[in-house]
Structures are given as C-alpha cells and as structure tokens.
C-alpha cells in the first residue's frame, strides 16, 4: 500500500527558522525548463510520460535507461542530458554548501517525545526510514500517527497530510483536537495488488509531487507483494533486482520528502540457540543498503511497543518505549518546538 502526505504552507515560526534556506520550489527544476534550453517540447512530453518530471530526477537516470524510452535516440538523450546539466548543478560542492543543503532536511515528529529524541528530532526527509518487526509491533500505527502529528500547529516540520485505514485515523485526529474530516481530506492513497502495480504507482508520484509540495511517502509493506509474486530460489535474483529498482532514493532526494516504509521479518535459522528472538528483516542486503535508517519494533509489556535504532549513519544504537496501539500518548506536555538539524 502506498500513501503520500501533502504539505501546506509553513508557519511563520518555521519560516524564520529556515529563512537562510531556499524556497521549496527551488529544491528542484521542472522538466519544462528543458524547452527553453533548446529541447523539443515533444521530447519533453516523452520524458513526462516515462515518469520524469524534473531535471533533478532526469539526472538520476542513466543514458541507457533514457534511450529505452520510445522515441528518444542516443543523440537526443545526449542533447537532453547536456541541457539538464546546465540547469542543475550535480557536480562537486564545498562542505559549507553541503551543510546549507542539509538545513533543508525537515524532521517529522512521531508524536512521542521519547521516540523523537531517539531519532534526533523525528523522521527525516531526503532519506528512507525502514521500520521492521513482527505483526502488531507498532510499525503501521506509527505510520498513522505520523499522518496526523504532522498537521498539528506546533509540529517542528511543516504541516502535512495522510492514508490507509480511515477509521484508525479518526481517533488519532481527535486526540490532537483536530477535525477528522479535514485530516482525511488531506490523504492521497492507493493500494497496490502486484509488485508491478506498486512500482507503477511510485513512478506516478513524480507527476503529483512536481505540481504540489509533498512531504511524506509511506509504503506499507514494501516487501509483501514481492514475497507473493516471486517464489523459490530460482526467482530470488530477479526479485532482488526488481526490489532494488523500487527502493531507489530518487523520490526522497528529488522532492525532499521523507520515505517511511514498513517491512516484515523472517525466521533466522542461523540465529543460534543463544538468541531469544532469532528474526531478521526480510529483503536481504538489497533492502538493508537501500534504507538510510533502520528501526526495529518489538512488543513490550502489555500495550508497550519498543523501538530500537538498528542501523543509522548519524544515530547511536538505543531504544525507546512508546505506546502506539491504544492511542494513549499524551501530547499535552510535548515541546512546542524542536531543533531542525
């Protein structure tokens, strides 16, 4: 299942915090700019039909892939790439410029102060966050909570929008004192039935994100359809290749959106008798390398759910206890602002 959350205008406080960062529209260059650079409008339309709507996204494709688009010859692709390179700076930049770009990263609050502290402020944009664990461990509930928590006025990120089970969104919205109908109206949702359908839905997101500002993409679950559509070791190589194509961070980086995906677990026969819970995330090394931040969820006592930083480039290994399943998180004492790193 795929859900995208759309952003509203930022509050005045957030504008002050990010005044040294370029406007949201400057984060990517529309593919239409190629026309003014001498590219035929018909060829630009072919790129859009292939799911490429920004010059930034175009630069993330190989020339081999671009020549696979019907009607685009090697000569045309060469000319298109040269024009895009003049519009988008994909070359070397200084460390100071990299730090400035880093300030455009937004952290979406989870609604749990303990979990936000564990994650350094919340779920990051421009990267992929994977949450894996057994059934009822809190993965999807966090996804639902993110959809509502991003719409509260004191969210440290911009105001957002959401998906999945509408009946589960309603009580979360009510806890925040928000209009459930307004929250649900902000949701853009699609259900995938095969891995190919899921991939095509992801490609179609570029068109929506190039027209309106989005902030969050949720894929729940990323591996489920692959485990159904591919069976046995004979299809494992093809499955992993298709999975790798779907897990490209292009959307996250191109549109500065947070990608939150849930994952299932499988038994680990090699875990040994000394490991109390020998389970590991599905998807193998392909999924492991694709995710920027990996979170492991497990059941605690009663309704408690425990989240552990399993792997992250900038976070220490630690745990946080959250209460997602009974909607009992108390936001009354939640801080009104968090640092944007």
pLDDT value at 155 more than 80: no
Query: Which two three-digit tokens encode residue 303?
Result: 């309704």
d(CA 241, CA 289): 13
- Angle, helices 236-246/195-211, rounded to nearest 10 degrees: 10
**pLDDT single digits (tens) 188-227:** 788 888 888 888 888 777 778 877 778 888 888 888 888 8
Asked if the peptide bond before residue 221 counts as cis, ω within 30 degrees of 0, the response is yes
Sheet of strand 305-311: strand arrangement: 187-190, 2-6, 214-219, 258-263, 127-132, 293-299, 305-311, 319-322
pTM: 0.73
Q: Give the DSSP letter of residue 161.
A: -
Per DSSP bridges, beta strands 293-299 and 305-311 are antiparallel
d(CA 137, CA 272): 23
Residue 278 has a pLDDT of 61
Phi and psi at residue 26, to the nearest 5°: -85, 0
Grade residue 45 by pLDDT with cuts at 50, 70 and 90.
Answer: very high
d(CA 284, CA 247): 13
Phi and psi at residue 124, to the nearest 5°: -85, 145
**Cα angle 101-102-105, degrees, rounded to a multiple of 5:** 110
Average pLDDT over residues 138-166: 61
Grade residue 271 by pLDDT with cuts at 50, 70 and 90.
Answer: low
Residue 294 has a pLDDT of 92
d(CA 89, CA 271): 46
Highest mean pLDDT (candidates 148-157, 275-284, 292-301): 292-301
pLDDT value at 260 more than 80: yes
Grade residue 337 by pLDDT with cuts at 50, 70 and 90.
Answer: very low
Q: Is 310 helix (H, G, I), strand (E, B) or coil?
A: strand
CA 252 to each of CA 72, 174, 257: distance values in angstroms, whole numbers, following the listed order: 27, 30, 5
Q: Average pLDDT of the chain?
A: 76
What's the burial of 295, exposed, middle or buried (CB within 10 Å: 0-12/13-18/19+)? buried
Average pLDDT over residues 29-38: 90
């Amino acid at each position: 299942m795929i859900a995208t959350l759309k952003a509203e205008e930022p509050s005045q406080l957030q504008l002050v915090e990010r005044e040294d960062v370029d406007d949201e529209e400057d984060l990517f260059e529309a593919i239409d700019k190629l026309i003014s650079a001498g590219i035929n409008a018909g060829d630009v339309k072919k790129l859009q039909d292939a799911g490429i709507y920004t010059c930034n996204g175009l630069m993330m494709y190989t020339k081999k892939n671009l020549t696979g688009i019907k009607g685009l010859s090697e000569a045309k692709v060469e000319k298109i790439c040269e024009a895009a390179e003049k519009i988008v700076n994909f070359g070397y930049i200084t460390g100071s410029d990299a730090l400035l770009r880093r300030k455009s990263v937004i952290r979406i609050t989870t609604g749990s102060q303990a979990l936000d502290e564990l994650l350094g402020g919340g779920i990051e944009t421009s990267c992929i966050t994977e949450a894996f664990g057994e059934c009822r461990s809190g993965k999807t509930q966090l996804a639902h909570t993110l959809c509502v928590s991003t719409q509260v006025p004191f969210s440290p990120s911009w105001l957002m929008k959401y998906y999945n089970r509408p009946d589960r969104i309603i009580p979360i919205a009510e806890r925040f004192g928000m209009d459930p109908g307004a929250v649900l109206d902000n949701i853009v949702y699609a259900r995938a039935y095969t891995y190919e359908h899921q991939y095509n839905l992801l490609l179609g997101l570029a068109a929506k994100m190039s027209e309106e500002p989005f902030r969050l993409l949720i894929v729940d679950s990323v591996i489920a359809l692959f485990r159904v559509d591919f069976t046995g070791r004979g299809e494992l190589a093809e499955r992993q290749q298709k999975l790798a194509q779907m897990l490209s961070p292009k959307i996250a980086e191109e549109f500065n959106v947070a990608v939150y995906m849930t994952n299932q677990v499988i038994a680990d026969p090699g875990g040994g008798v000394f490991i109390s819970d020998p389970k590991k995330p599905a998807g193998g090394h392909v999924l492991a390398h694709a995710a920027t931040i990996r979170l492991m969820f497990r059941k605690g006592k009663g309704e408690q759910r425990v989240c552990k930083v399993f792997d992250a480039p900038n976070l220490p290994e630690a745990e946080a206890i959250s209460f997602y399943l009974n909607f009992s998180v108390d936001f009354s004492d939640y801080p009104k602002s968090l640092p944007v790193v």
